Chains A and B, each alone.
Chain A
Amino acid sequence: MVETDPATLAWTAHPARSRPRDLALVAAALFLTTGAVLASLQSAFLAALAAVIIVVSIAPFLFPTHYRLSERGVEERRLGMRRARAWRDLRRVQIGARAALVSPFARPSWLDRYRGVLLLFDGADREAVVAELRRRIGETDHVG
């Protein structure tokens, strides 16, 4: 769902809902990994731990993520966790086919994924989001 007003652009991305085949693949991988850990290590605790690690690592795909582009900056909320970056701290935006990365680093860095925010376009008006990011951050790198 996309919410638009002059000050705010907000949407909710939930890739698992729109890509059921990928969700089936995830379920299969999760089942196989948990089973393999259980069979090889004979430990229900480690098998559960493996499942939790996999689920947490693919949380952006599995769970809904709420994004908001406001006058202040970019905000991301998922599973009760909230991250926000002010426009003044962001120096680069990289646009991809399914997502955009906004980063505080002027040049590409391996730290982008830690300090930047990945905005999934799933559920968003892509053109409006890209236009807003360009307007706020300026020069844009296109990927994919």
Chain B
Amino acid sequence: MSDDEQASALEEALSEEDRAFLNRLADGIARRRLTPVALFFLESTKPLGFLGSQAMHFFRPVVQIVWSDPASYDRLTRLLEKRGSIELLLRRLEARA
């Protein structure tokens, strides 16, 4: 299964909240004019998405010190665990480029 097919399957499986979260994330990146940098970074590190999510789990206690209820952090961690999630974010960034 290609990245494209994985991402399409995941898009259908995502909840409305997860889709809205990805849209907000992409909007935030685009608003800060970081779209090309984010695209390049995410494209380069796409195979490491799952490792990234595990690193986020590891740093969760540290994040909680400065951010009492890191709901978005947790949502992003859960999303990154799924294959194709970075491709979904890349698609949203492409649409805003």
The residues of A with any CB-CB pair to B shorter than 8 Å are 73, 75, 82-86, 89, 104-107, 109-111, 114-115
The residues of B with any CB-CB pair to A shorter than 8 Å are 2-5, 8, 36, 39-40, 43, 90-91, 94-95, 97
Q: Once bound together, how far apart are the Cα atoms of A73 and B7, in whole Å?
A: 14
Q: Are A105 and B3 in contact (CB under 8 A)?
A: no
What B residues does A115 contact at CB under 8 A? 39, 43, 90, 94
Q: Are A84 and B94 in contact (CB under 8 A)?
A: no
Q: Are B40 and A114 in contact (CB under 8 A)?
A: yes
Q: Are A84 and B43 in contact (CB under 8 A)?
A: no
Chain A, Cβ-Cβ closest to B43:
A114
Partner of A105, one of B2, B4, B5, B97: B97
Do A110 and B36 form a contact, CB below 8 Å, given A73-B4, A84-B4?
Answer: yes
Q: Once bound together, how far apart are the Cα atoms of A114 and B2, in whole Å?
A: 15
What B residues does A105 contact at CB under 8 A? 94, 97
Do A89 and B94 form a contact, CB below 8 Å, given A111-B39, A111-B40, A115-B43?
Answer: yes
Do A86 and B8 form a contact, CB below 8 Å, given A104-B94, A105-B94, A115-B94?
Answer: yes
Q: Are B3 and A83 in contact (CB under 8 A)?
A: yes
Partner of A85, one of B4, B39, B40, B95: B4
Q: Are A86 and B43 in contact (CB under 8 A)?
A: no
* Interface SS, B side: helix
9 A-B residue pairings within 8 Å (CB atoms): A83-B3, A84-B2, A89-B94, A110-B36, A111-B40, A111-B43, A114-B39, A114-B43, A115-B90
Chain A, Cβ-Cβ closest to B94:
A104
Q: Are B91 and A89 in contact (CB under 8 A)?
A: yes
Q: Once bound together, how far apart are the Cα atoms of A109 and B2, in whole Å?
A: 24
* Given contact pairs A84-B5, A109-B97, A111-B97, a sample of 19 additional A-B residue pairs in the complex whose CB atoms are under 8 Å apart: A73-B4, A75-B2, A82-B2, A84-B2, A85-B4, A86-B4, A86-B8, A89-B4, A89-B91, A89-B94, A104-B91, A104-B94, A104-B95, A105-B94, A105-B97, A110-B36, A111-B36, A114-B39, A114-B43
Chain B, Cβ-Cβ closest to A73:
B4
**Closest 6 pairs between A and B when the two form their complex, measured CB to CB:** A104-B94, A84-B4, A84-B2, A82-B2, A114-B43, A105-B97
